[in-house]
Amino acid sequence: MGLEHALGDSAITTTIDSAINWCRKNSVWPMPLGISCCGIEMMAFAMPRFDVSRFGAEVFRFSPRQSDLLIVAGTTTYKMATVVRKIYDQMPDPKWVIAMGACTSSGGMYRTYSVVQGIDQFLPVDVYVGGCPPRPDNLLNALMMIQDKIQRGESRSTPMTVAAERIEKQQLLQIQGINN
Amino acid sequence: MITTVVEKLQEKFSDNILSVKEFRGETTVVVKSEEIVSICMFLRDHEECQFDYCSDICGADAYTPENRFEVIYNLYSISRNHRIRLKVFVDESNLHCPSVTSVWPGAEWPERETYDMIGVIFDGNNDMRRMYMPEDFEYYPLRKDFPMMGIPDSIPLPRK
């Protein structure tokens, strides 16, 4: 019947997934978590000079319930970790996480008892951004990497979508083909 | 100036002053902890002292068998523009020290911080809660025997 007949069973699902992912990646709503100095660079990233709205992510939501990208921008202490996790848990699926800056990614220069040595100890992180603090360009780059991940249907937090699973299966088959 | 302050102090509290040191223009007076409140009251109210501003209170850990901890009071007089530093020893076996919140109400938070970091208990401070560390934390991070990276699992992280 029509297009479905012409394309077979599988093509339609892939296309819809891809279309949804295309919509998603161009309307990412970040949840800003500017816990320290990285927050200032994150604000610059939202302002006209660097202009995150070029990537469709200008709608900073201060409610986790309306966001799909968590930007953890700053030193995360053990006391704050519970709060970060709570905010993350309140975000609806699918969701992505950027660990912005050295402190967030690895504890940075705070090698002490009070700072979590990398938020990946309690959160699944999609993209790490280096720098202390990173330049806004660097964060834009991270956003673009998140966009690529969204297009591929990948997220560390959410189980992979059907399309992504299929892509992975295809890649696996290719690799097996090469090996054989 | 500050020499007159020290003279007045020695006149009034000669039995309770353990030592007076001057280093690079900074005067440090070591006093007995039992008399710290009356000494602070005297320094605040005396005409030639007028230490109306308690700039900071902090603790130190010397890690010695006796007089292990010290509490350090940095005082400043806004009206006279001079400074003095008071020190009090606190032994590990008796971690109590009188609170100076009755002299300067603003001393409450610095005392809480000292309690949080060193573990000195200030009698008379009505709000002896943890300041930075979680309320159920059992250790005092600025003590010399506290490991730099903390005690593993002493502060629980959320599950992944």
Lowest mean pLDDT of A2-16, A65-79, A110-124, B117-131, name the range: A2-16
Q: Is A114 close to B133, i.e. CB distance below 8 A?
A: yes
Q: Which residue of B has its CA nearest to A124?
A: B160
Whole-number pLDDT of residue A159: 59
Higher pLDDT, B3 or B100: B100
List the structure tokens of A10. 């599988």
Distance from CA of A146 to the nearest CA of B (A): 21
B9 secondary structure, DSSP code: H
Measured CA to CA, the distance from residue A149 to residue A145 in angstroms comes to 6
Distance separating alpha carbons of residues A113 and A136, to the nearest angstrom: 29
Residue corresponding to tokens 């320094």:
B43
- Identify whether the C-beta of residue B140 lies closer than 8 Å to the C-beta of residue B61: no
Neighbours of A77 (CB within 10 A): 22
* Dist. CA B6–CA B14, nearest whole Å: 10
| Residue B98 three-state SS | strand
Residue A6's pLDDT band, with cuts at 50, 70 and 90, is low
Instruction: Give the best residue of B138, B146, B157, B159 to mutate against chain A (max A CB count within 10 A).
Output: B157
Distance CA B33, CA B40 (A): 11
Q: Give me the mean pLDDT over the B63-85 stretch.
A: 92
Three-class secondary structure of residue A135 per DSSP: coil
Reported as a single tens digit per residue, the pLDDT across B48-61 is 889 999 999 999 99
pLDDT of residue A167: 64
Contact A84, A60 (CB under 8 A): no
Q: How high is the pLDDT of residue A12?
A: 53
**Tokens matching residue A99:** 């660990």
A11 has a pLDDT exceeding 60: no
Would the pLDDT of A10 be above 60? no
Q: What is the pLDDT of residue A14?
A: 57
**Which among B101, A142, A77 is positioned nearest to B114, based on CA atoms?**
B101
Cα separations in angstroms, A130 against A38, A107, B117:
11, 12, 32
ipTM beyond 0.85?
Answer: no
First-to-last alpha carbon distance for chain B, in angstroms, is 61
Q: Does the pLDDT at position A100 exceed 80?
A: yes
Token pair belonging to A114: 């009070």
Q: Give chain B positions within 8 Å (CB) of A111.
A: 148-149
The rounded distance, in Å, linking the Cα atoms of A161 and A20 is 11
Q: Which of B146, B155, B160 sits opposite A78 (nearest CB)?
A: B155
Query: Which chain A residue has its CA at the smallest distance from B139's CA?
Result: A113
Q: Which residues of A touch B (CB under 8 A)?
A: 78-79, 81-82, 85-86, 111-114, 116, 121-124
Q: What is the pTM of this model?
A: 0.78
On average, the pLDDT of chain B sits at 90
User: Which pLDDT tens digit goes with each residue over A53-88?
Assistant: 999 888 888 899 999 999 999 999 999 999 999 999
A95: its two tokens? 């969701």
The token pair that represents B91 in the structure block: 């032994």
At A158 the pLDDT is 66
Residue (of A172, A137, A167, A131) closest to A151 by Cα position: A167
